[in-house]
């Protein structure tokens, strides 16, 4: 894989003292940024680190110790960047690290008067950056350069690596190894009060204190990512029959109907849904941490499971798994088409990589193997 190269550098400062990190807006991306955040914190002792985050991401990162101050702002609407910039300007940040690819995030930091602005040259925002890194295209990145039909498309670089390369540039240290295996682990933290609320949610769902359970996550922002609901229900029944493990079905509030239908179909085997019990990102973390295993589509909770070292079976259809490769030894990745040639990207072959090609037996087998490798525990740390 080729390295990113700086496209331009203007007015560099030798060592940042006050850094604003503009965080990704999606849950999974924000979690995958945590190795880069740990690297930044460890390499800049004494620096003041702030974060600009959308509402909800602050809950996700709370307690992890990455930032000295968090600024929550949706930055929505035409005036969004101007409003956010007005709040940031008095704080006199000297460096902005843009983990987002959007034009609006770069504009916000420019209006805020932050003199050094580092990010990838995406979304027509190059002129707003003082240091722009060029993300690799497939024509420059083996093995994807062997697919001439998509030579100009972005190469599926793992997000953890993508973010860490920006940190290496901020630090001015080309010797930092940003390979997945060299990065700090993905980590999050739970607050005691949220742990208590999580216990209450599980109790209201009908689980006994310290009862082990499988956490099923059948949703996803793109319906093409969703393994068929009836297979999740069959999986819940099988896990109960084979391991005596009840399933907790989780999802975003807008996925309430989906999660309740799956829990209903497997209710005879103890399955329950929790989407309507007041789950937030703050309480989802300790719920995930208590799970014996998670089975999930390609969506945010997968990364929360990795952050707490929970065994996870991850199902990938027409979204290539290499965008989101994570350092997690207790994960089994199941692809809709494991025979897809390495130079091809699953996103370009939606029919061949349709997620309904993943069979129940493959998912069940992976889950049982992971359960056999690690003792079932109701409270993992």
Q: What is the pLDDT of residues 138-188, one digit of tens each?
A: 999 999 999 999 999 999 999 999 999 999 999 988 789 999 999 999 999
- Cα–Cα distances (Å) from 115 to 14, 111, 136, 137, 243, in that order, read 13, 10, 26, 29, 58
The rounded distance, in Å, linking the Cα atoms of 274 and 279 is 7
**pLDDT tops 80 at residue 194:** yes
Q: In a 3-state reduction of DSSP, which class is residue 258?
A: helix
Q: In a 3-state reduction of DSSP, which class is residue 6?
A: strand
At 375, the pLDDT band (50, 70, 90 cuts) reads: low
**Could you give the residue range(s) of every CATH 3.40.50.2000 domain in the chain?**
5-182, 192-373
CATH code that applies to domain 192-373: 3.40.50.2000
Q: What is the DSSP string of 181-228?
A: GGSPPP-----HHHHHHHHHHHHHTTPPTT--EEEEE---SSGGGPPP
Cα angle at 97 between 84 and 122, to 5 degrees? 90
The rounded distance, in Å, linking the Cα atoms of 304 and 285 is 7
Taking only the tens place, the pLDDT of each residue in 6-63 is 444 444 456 899 999 999 999 999 999 999 999 999 999 999 999 999 999 999 999 9
Domain covering 5-182: architecture: 3-Layer(aba) Sandwich (3.40)
Taking only the tens place, the pLDDT of each residue in 231-265 is 999 999 999 999 999 999 999 989 999 999 999 99
**pLDDT tops 90 at residue 339:** yes
The answer, as to whether pTM is greater than 0.95, is no
Taking only the tens place, the pLDDT of each residue in 263-289 is 999 999 999 999 889 999 999 999 999
Per the prediction, the chain carries an average pLDDT of 93
Distance from first CA to last CA of the chain, Å, rounded? 34
């Amino acid at each position: 894989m080729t390295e990113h190269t700086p496209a331009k550098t203007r007015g560099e400062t030798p060592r940042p003292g006050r850094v604003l990190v503009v965080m990704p807006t999606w849950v999974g991306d924000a979690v995958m940024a945590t190795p880069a955040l740990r690297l930044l914190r460890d390499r800049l002792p004494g620096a003041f680190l702030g974060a600009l985050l959308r509402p909800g991401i602050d809950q996700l990162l709370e307690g992890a110790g990455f930032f000295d101050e968090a600024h929550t702002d949706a930055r929505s609407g035409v005036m969004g960047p101007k409003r956010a910039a007005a709040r940031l300007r008095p704080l006199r940040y000297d460096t902005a690290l843009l983990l987002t690819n959007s034009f609006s995030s770069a504009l916000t930091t420019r209006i805020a008067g932050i003199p050094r602005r580092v990010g990838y040259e995406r979304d027509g925002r190059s002129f707003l950056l003082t240091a722009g890194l060029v993300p690799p295209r497939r024509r420059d990145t083996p093995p994807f350069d062997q697919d001439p039909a998509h030579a100009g498309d972005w190469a599926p670089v793992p997000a953890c690596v993508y973010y860490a390369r920006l940190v290496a540039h901020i630090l001015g240290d080309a010797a930092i190894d940003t390979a997945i295996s060299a990065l700090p682990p993905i980590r999050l933290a739970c607050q005691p009060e949220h742990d208590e609320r999580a216990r209450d949610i599980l109790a209201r769902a009908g689980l006994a204190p310290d009862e082990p359970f499988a956490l099923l996550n059948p949703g996803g922002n793109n319906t093409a990512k969703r393994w068929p609901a009836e297979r999740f229900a069959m999986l819940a029944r099988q896990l109960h029959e084979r391991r005596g493990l009840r399933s907790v079905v989780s999802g975003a509030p807008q996925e309430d109907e989906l999660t309740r239908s799956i829990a209903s179909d497997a209710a005879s085997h103890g399955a329950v849904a929790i989407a309507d019990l007041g789950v937030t990102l703050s309480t989802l973390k300790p719920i995930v941490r208590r799970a014996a295993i998670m089975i999930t589509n390609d969506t945010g909770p997968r990364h929360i499971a990795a952050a707490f070292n929970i065994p996870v079976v991850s199902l990938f259809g027409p979204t290539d798994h290499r965008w989101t490769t994570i350092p997690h030894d207790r994960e089994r990745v199941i692809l809709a088409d494991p025979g897809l040639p390495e130079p091809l990207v699953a996103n370009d072959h939606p029919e061949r990589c349709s997620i309904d090609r993943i069979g129940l037996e493959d998912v069940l087998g992976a889950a049982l193997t992971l359960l056999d490798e690690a003792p079932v525990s109701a409270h993992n740390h």
